[in-house]
Chains A and B, each alone.
Chain A
C-alpha cells in the first residue's frame, strides 16, 4: 500500500518534471544552452521538482480559493437582496457541487499517468486507482477546508457547517462515482468524464441555469433544504466510499476508458489523421482546369471547403445579425445613438483583439500541414525554393480571402452604424474603419502563414514541436490583449493600423522569400 503510494507519486512527479524540462528545451534560446542529457542534470531536476511541488500545492488550494471567491462575488453583488448571502451561497454551491460530481470525478478521468501505471508498468489496478482517488478526495477536502473556515463570516455560515461542507462535496463525488460503478456492473457501460452524452450535457446546462437563473427570478432552494441535503451527502459519501473500495473490476473499466480516449500519441496522431480525412469531400464532381500549384491549391480548397470556410461563414452570419440588430435597436431606442457613435469613434483598438479571435490563421495552417504539406514535404520537388514561394503566394491569397469575408462585413457594418447613429464630421472615418479592419484581417493572415513557413512547428506526427512557435503565439495574444486598454480616436488608430499592417506584410514577405526555402521542412 505504502509502496504503491510512493511509486504512483514518483511516477506522476517524474512525468511532470520531464514535461517541464521538455518545455524548457523546446524554447529557442534555452535550447542552445541546455544539453540533450538535461533529463539527468541534477540542478535542473531539482528546479523542476520544486516547480512540480509548487504546482501540487497551488492545485490543491488556489483553485478552491478562486472557486469560492467567484461564488461569493456573484452572491454578494449579483442579485438584489431578496435572500440572505448564506441562503444564496448554499443554493449555488448545491447545484455547482452536483455538476462537479459528474464533470470532475477524477476516478473516471483517463489520464496518461493512469495508463502508464496500470497498463505499461502493470501495477495492481485496484490498489493504484484507489490510492490515487483517495489522495484526490483528501486533497479536495484539505483544499476547501481552510477557505470555508476563513470565509465563514463573509458567508455567514456557522462553524459546524463550514467544516461540514468540504466533506459534503467529497461525499457527493464519492456517491456519484459509486453509482457509475453500479451502473457498470448492471449494464456494462463505462462513464467517461471527458465524453459526456447529450443528456448529461443537458443536465449540466439545466443545473447551471438553476444555479444562476432561479435567484434572478427571486427563487432559491430554502436554506433548510440545502443544508439538509449537504448533511445527507456525508452518509451518502460513506456508502459511496464502501462501494468504491469493494469494487473489483477497475482494470476492465480502464481498458474501456482508454479504448475510448486513446491517450498516447501514435494512436492520437492516427485519430487526428482520421479526423482530417473525414473532411475530404468525396464529391466526384470536383475538378480543376488549372495547372501546377494552382491546380493543387484549387483541389485542396474545394475538397476541404467545409473545414476551411465554415467557421468564417458562420462568423460572418453572426456579424450581419449583430450589425442589423444594433441598427434596429438604434432606430427603436434613439437614446443609445450617442454612446454607440462614441464607441465606434474611440474603440477601434478593441477590434484588434476581436479580429485576433475571429481570424482563422491557426486553423488554416494546421489544415495545410495535416492535410497537405505533411505528405508532400517528403518529396524533394516540393521543397525547391521556387516551388515553396509560388505556393506561399497562392496560399496567402486564399487565407486572406477567408479572413476578409467577416472583416469586410464588420468594417462595413461599423461604418453603417456610425452613419445611422449620427455620423461624423470627418468623412475619412468611414473609409478608415473599413480599410483598417480589412488590414487587421490581412495582418493576421500574413502573420500566421509567415510563422508557419518560417518556423514550421509540426513534426511528422502533426504535433506542434516548437517552443518558439508557441512563444510567438502567446506574444501575439498578449499584444492583441493589450490593445483592449488602448483608447485612441478611430482616425488616428486606424491610420496607424493601416501603416503598420502594410509595413508588416512587406517585411514578412521579404523574410519568407529569404528564409522559407531553408526553414520550410519537416521537423526531424
Chain B
C-alpha cells in the first residue's frame, strides 16, 4: 500500500502588513483525519486557498512524498470542499457527473457507473436527472463532495463542510469521511470542537500563523477539550 505524506514547509502569507500565515511547517500522513482548529481570522481559509493555489503564498513550499519519493502537488492531488456548495446550476446531477468523469477519465481509478456513484452518495434516483438549481442545500453538498472524491485525490481539504447540513446528512457524511480516510489525507477545518474531537484522529491548531499538533496522550475527552480551549485562549493573552 502506498505510503503518502503531505508536507508543508515554512509557508507564509501576508496581506500587506498583516501576516496571516507566518511559518506553517507540518507533515500530514495518509490514513488520518486532521481537525484544523483556529480562532476566527486565524487563517484557516487562507491556508486552504494557498494549498489549493487560489492564493499565491509569499514563501515556503508544500509537496507530496510518495513512498519516499518527493514530488510537486498537482491540481488533481487536491479536492477542496467549501462550506457553501457551489455547483453548476444549469446541469443535471447526472450531466455534472458525466462531464466530470469525461474530462478526468485518465485520473479515475476503478471507474464505476454514474448510478453506482449516486447510490454510494445516497442521492435518490428521481433526483438524478433534475437540474442542480433545484437541488436542496444538502444535495448540492453531496454532489460537491462526490465530485471531489471520485477522482480519489490524495489530499481532501474540507472547509466547514458539515455545519449547515441536517443531522441525517451530516451523519452520512461523517461515515463517508471515516471510510475515505484509508485512502487519503483529510484535513477538516471546523469551529465546532465536539465535531472535531468526535471525527478527527488528530487535532491541529492554527495560531500565530503556525500549525501545532495538540497531543492527546492519555487525556479523556473533557480534559482534551479543556487543553485545546486553553491553548487557543492563550493566544489572545500573548
Contacts and interface: CB of A to CB of B under 8 A. Distances in A.
Interface stretch (B24-32, B71-79, B179-187, B228-236): B71-79
A94 B52 CA distance: 63
B89 A371 contact: yes
How big is chain B's contact interface, by range? 35 or more
Interface of B: 15-18, 49, 52-55, 75-76, 78-80, 82, 86-91, 95, 98-100, 102-104, 129, 131, 133, 147-148, 151, 153
B11 to A, nearest CB: 16
Interface in A282-305: 282, 284, 291-293, 295-296, 299-300, 303-304
B15 A293 contact: no
Contact of B103 (A36, A378, A387): A387
* 4 residue pairs, one from A and one from B, having the closest CB atoms: A375-B86, A292-B102, A380-B75, A36-B16
Interface of A: 35-37, 277, 280, 282, 284, 291-293, 295-296, 299-300, 303-304, 371-372, 374-376, 378-381, 383-384, 387, 521-522, 524
7 contacts: A36-B16, A36-B17, A296-B99, A299-B95, A380-B75, A522-B54, A524-B49
Nearest to A385: B75
B54 A371 contact: no
Given A379-B148, A524-B49, A280 B89 contact: yes
Given A36-B17, A375-B89, A524-B55, A280 B133 contact: yes
A381 B80 CA distance: 10
Contacts of B80: 378-380
B103 A292 contact: yes
Contact of A383 (B75, B103, B131): B75
B75 A280 contact: no
Contacts of B89: 277, 280, 371, 375
Contact of B90 (A299, A383, A521, A522): A299
B159 to A, nearest CB: 10
A277 B53 CA distance: 29
Given A36-B16, A292-B99, A296-B99, A381 B75 contact: yes
B52 A380 contact: yes
Contact of A375 (B55, B75, B88, B98): B88
Contacts of B147: 379
B144 to A, nearest CB: 8
Given A282-B131, A292-B103, 16 more contacts: A36-B15, A36-B18, A277-B133, A280-B89, A280-B133, A295-B99, A296-B99, A299-B95, A303-B90, A375-B87, A375-B89, A378-B86, A379-B80, A379-B148, A383-B75, A522-B54
